[in-house]
Structure 1
Amino acid sequence: MRWTMSSSLNLERAAAAPPAPPSAHAKAHRAHIRRRELVSRLHVVFVALVVLGPLVIYPLARLVALSLTGPHGEHSLHAYSTFFSNPDVSGVVGTTIAIVFASAGIASVLGVAIAALLFFRPFAGAAIVTRFLELFVAFPSFLVAFTLIFLYGSQGAVSIGLQRLFHLNAPPLDFLFGAGGIVLAEVVFYAPFVVRPTLASFAQIDMRLLEAARSLGANGFMVAWRVIAPLAWPGIAAGTILCFLLTLNEFGILLVLGSAHLVTLPVAIYSSATVDLDLPTAAAGAVVMLAMSLSLYALYRTVDRRQAMGAR
């Protein structure tokens, strides 16, 4: 009984006693953590001021400020009213949307088909084709346009060869400088951008599920539609959205293969700035296009984040 009472008294005294002062090692550890957090914050401030400030933040701020400048230098929405009141703008926006949907839609379907072929039906040289597609995305887009001109233009190698082979009076291929050529060039250039995320999404599929579906009597189409597509849709959706985003902002192919009768939004903004010298209207169009691009990018990041969470 005495031992129990003394033990309880010792416990009460220990609880009531002030906490022991932290050791020197603990103090040094906390000081190191604070220094590391301070250095990290300084790095963020440095990147924001030295890199993002002059290269991103300031140009965007100047672009928005220029779009809000009136004819006499005052702040107004005159540039936006001029841009949207132009009767040609609706046609330009419609042409841009039509080309984007045609190019990105075909490129997305082609990219998914190529990825499925490389992953589920590998052949000799499939690894080389995959590496080439990864390297292809580093090429400037206007090189694809010039390559198509040298091959399929009215004076291209294929067109001249067909003319001589069939003894024609004129080159048989004359479609590049217009909507057909732009869609073809953008499909060729942007389809590889869909292949890579789709392959990554296919790699996360448990192959035992496909074997189980085949053992239950599912044919190839049912396996692709009922098993592969639901499991791989985040990667496919991310690649498709990225393709739409890039085709919306494409300029090199449009500048090379576009014509005076086929004006898209990037070309119209460029013409307003360089030909008409109407910088506020060009800035207003650029801000509208920037808003569209940021919306697509936000959607892409959302889908890509879901894909990353699914991979975990």
Structure 2
Amino acid sequence: MTALLERSASAGDAAPREPAGRIRPLLWTLPPLCIVLIAAVYPLARVCLESVKLRDGGTGLGTWTSVLGSQAFRSALWRTIAIAVTSTAGCLILGTFLAIVLAFVPFPGSSLIGRLIDTILALPSFLITLAFTFLYGSAGAMNALIANITGTSSPTLNFLYTPAGVIAAEITFFTPFVIRPLLAAFALLPRQQLDVAASLGASPLRVLRAVIMPEAWPALMAGGSLVLLLTLNEFGIVLFTGAKGVITLPVLIYTRGIVTFDLAGAAVIATAQIVLSLALYVGYRLIFARVMAGPGRKD
């Protein structure tokens, strides 16, 4: 009888504590939620609200109609997507090749090259463009060397100030974002699988196609999607290249907002940029979930 009374008393003491136990995790989520709302959601909401303001002080969709219907916006949108997709494809091809070489082809200095790749990740993007200017610019080292050899006075290499120069600079800077996830995926690959495949007579290309790359697809998708989002919103490389005909959406936002002080028009383009980035992110998440839930994957 005494034991039953003690159990009932302890149960009665635990009952009031149950709501406090539920509220405590909610209280821990409030600080990071407030930080996200203030640092990310609020500025984006202000940009979206600014996009519906008219010149007379009212609100409406007149700015949206004029900006989205302009030839400058459509050209910038197409050029932004074309540069981002081409740069991402180049980063995937070059990054996959370099990651395979660094992971499976031992050679002296491979660890040093890996550290140099990590160093590039810590540098700002405009430094790559500045280095390209010293190397391939009109008065750069390569044109000076070609002029000394051929005796020509006009610069031979003029690709730096074209979309090709922007793409080359972006591939150089963003390729490490593909290499690092692939090297991490290759490090988790059991070496026994490679040894068994080689002992069964599989060629190196077949081992690469049938054993290595299926395990690296998630890392390749993660690196490629990250590069696509970064190149889609890249501003420093395009600006420091100085290519007059290469107007992307970030450059158009800068021109509208800072140069011409058209804040409403810049907000419209920025909102379109946000929607495009979010659409790419959602598409990546859906594709990644479908790949990870494939028949060959185990939970």
TM-score range, shorter chain: 0.7 to 0.9
Q: 1:186 aligns with which of 170, 181, 194?
A: 170
Deviation at 1:305, TM superposition (A): 7.3
In the alignment, structure 2 segments of 5+ residues that lack a partner are: none
CA deviation profile, 1:43-91 (whole Å, cap 9, x unmatched): 4322333x33432222111001011223333332222211211023222
Deviation at 1:40, TM superposition (A): 4.5
Alignment match, 1:21: 8
Alignment match, 1:77: 61
CA deviation profile, 1:177-210 (whole Å, cap 9, x unmatched): 1112101100100000000111112122222222
Q: 1:54 aligns with which of 24, 28, 38?
A: 38
Q: 2:30 aligns with which of 22, 45, 70?
A: 45
Q: 1:182–1:254: 8 Å Cα contact kept in structure 2?
A: yes
Write out aligned runs for 1:2-151 (5 A). Answer: 20-21=7-8, 23=10, 38=23, 40-49=25-34, 51-151=35-135
> Which structure would you say has the larger Rg?
1
Deviation at 1:307, TM superposition (A): 9.2
**What CA distance in whole angstroms lies between the structure 1 residues aligned with 2:288 and 2:29?**
24
Alignment-mate amino acid for residue 20 of structure 1? R
Alignment-mate amino acid for residue 53 of structure 2? T
Q: 2:161–2:244: 8 Å Cα contact kept in structure 1?
A: no
Alignment match, 1:5: none
Write out aligned runs for 1:277-288 (5 A). Answer: 277-288=261-272
Deviation at 1:304, TM superposition (A): 6.9
Deviation at 1:107, TM superposition (A): 1.1
**What CA distance in whole angstroms lies between the structure 2 residues aligned with 1:215 and 1:37?**
57
Deviation at 1:27, TM superposition (A): 5.0
**What CA distance in whole angstroms lies between the structure 1 residues aligned with 2:20 and 2:119?**
42
Aligned pair 1:268/2:252, yes or no?
yes
Q: 1:241–1:299: 8 Å Cα contact kept in structure 2?
A: no
Q: Normalization by structure 2: what TM-score? A: 0.87
Q: What SS does the corresponding residue of 2:30 show, helix, strand or coil?
A: helix
Pair 183,41 (structure 1): closer, same or farther in 2 beyond 3 Å: same
Alignment-mate amino acid for residue 92 of structure 1? A
Alignment match, 1:216: 200
Deviation at 1:38, TM superposition (A): 4.7
Alignment match, 2:151: 167
**What CA distance in whole angstroms lies between the structure 2 residues aligned with 1:199 and 1:34?**
47
Deviation at 1:213, TM superposition (A): 2.0
Q: 1:242 aligns with which of 209, 221, 226?
A: 226
Deviation at 1:19, TM superposition (A): 7.6
**What CA distance in whole angstroms lies between the structure 1 residues aligned with 2:250 and 2:45?**
20
Q: Normalization by structure 1: what TM-score? A: 0.84
Q: 1:79–1:280: 8 Å Cα contact kept in structure 2?
A: yes
Q: 1:83–1:284: 8 Å Cα contact kept in structure 2?
A: yes
CA deviation profile, 1:78-108 (whole Å, cap 9, x unmatched): 2221121102322221111111111111011
Pair 305,35 (structure 1): closer, same or farther in 2 beyond 3 Å: farther
Alignment-mate amino acid for residue 252 of structure 1? G
Deviation at 1:123, TM superposition (A): 1.8
Q: 1:270–1:282: 8 Å Cα contact kept in structure 2?
A: yes
**What CA distance in whole angstroms lies between the structure 2 residues aligned with 1:257 and 1:275?**
18
